[in-house]
Amino acid sequence: MELTDQDIELLNSKIGLKKLLGTKPLDIPKALKATKYEVKLRKLQEKLIGLQERVIQNNEKIVILFEGRDSAGKGGAIRRMTARLNPRHFRIIALPKPSIEEKGQWYFQRYVNHLPNPGEIIFFDRSWYNRAVVEPAMKFCTEKQYQEFMMQVNSFEKMFTDSGIKLIKLYFSITKDEQARRFEELRTDSLKKWKLSPVDLRAHELWDEFTKYKKEMFAKTDTEQCPWKIIEANKKTKARIEAIEYVLEQTNSAE
C-alpha cells in the first residue's frame, strides 16, 4: 500500500497511533481506515455540539427518530451522535412495552409525554412507528389499530411540527443476510448475546412481512413536511457518518 504524506501524518497522530497499535497483527490499511473514520466522526461531533448550543440559546426543540430492523445499528448511531453532547439538554427515549394503563390510552399519548422542552433534543430509539411495521407484522396490534394509526400519524406529526418542533426521521436499512450475520455475532458473543431475543429471531423469519409494512409506511408517511431519510446501514461506520451529516444538514448546522 502506497501512503500519501497526509496518510502518514494521520497515522502519526494520537488517534492514528492508537488505531495502529490496536491492530493485531499490524494492519496499516485497516488502521488508516479506522483513523480517517475517527477523525471525521470527531469533526462532526464538534458540529453537533455547536447545534446543541444553538438549540439551548434559541429555545429550539428537535426530535430525531431512529427506526430500522433489529440489529440495524440504531443504538450505535445514537451513541456516536450524543457522545460529546451536554447530557442535561438531551434525552434518549427507548420505551418498553406499554403498561396496561398505556394500552388504554390514545396510542400517541405515551410519546407526547416525551416530546422536547424548549432547548432540548430528543432521540427516539424506535418510536410511534412501531405500530407501522413491528406491531402489525408480529400481530401485536389489531388491523383496526393499525389502520387508525396510519390515518392519524401524518396529522399527529403535522400538529407538533406546526407548533415549532423540528422532526427528523431516520430509517437504518440493512439486508437480510447482514441481519443474519449480526444475529450470529450476538449469539456467539458472551457479552452481547443478551441483546438477541426470541422476538428478534421471529422478526428475521418474518422478513418479507416486515418489508411489506415498511414499504407501506414509506408510501404513506414520507411527507414533504416530515420526510424519511433512508440510511444504508450494512456498513455501520458509513451509516453513522451519513446520519450525523443529514441531521446537521436538516438543522442548518453543516457549515
Task: Tell me the pTM.
Answer: 0.92
The pLDDT value given to residue 6: 82
CATH entry, 59-250, from 2.40.170.20, 2.60.120.260, 3.40.50.300, 3.40.190.10: 3.40.50.300
CA distance 227 to 233: 18
DSSP state, residue 63: E
Q: Measured between alpha carbons, how far is residue 10 from residues 2, 70, 173, 210, 219 in Å?
A: 14, 35, 31, 43, 44
Domain boundaries, the chain: 1-58, 59-250
How do residues 94-111 score in pLDDT, each as one tens digit?
999 999 999 999 999 999
| 16 has a pLDDT exceeding 80 | no
The percentage of residues in the chain with a pLDDT greater than 70, rounded to a whole number, is: 100
CA distance 73 to 63: 18
CA distance 32 to 185: 25
The pLDDT value given to residue 1: 67
How do residues 169-219 score in pLDDT, each as one tens digit?
999 999 999 999 999 999 999 888 898 988 899 999 999 999 999 999 999
| 151 has a pLDDT exceeding 90 | yes
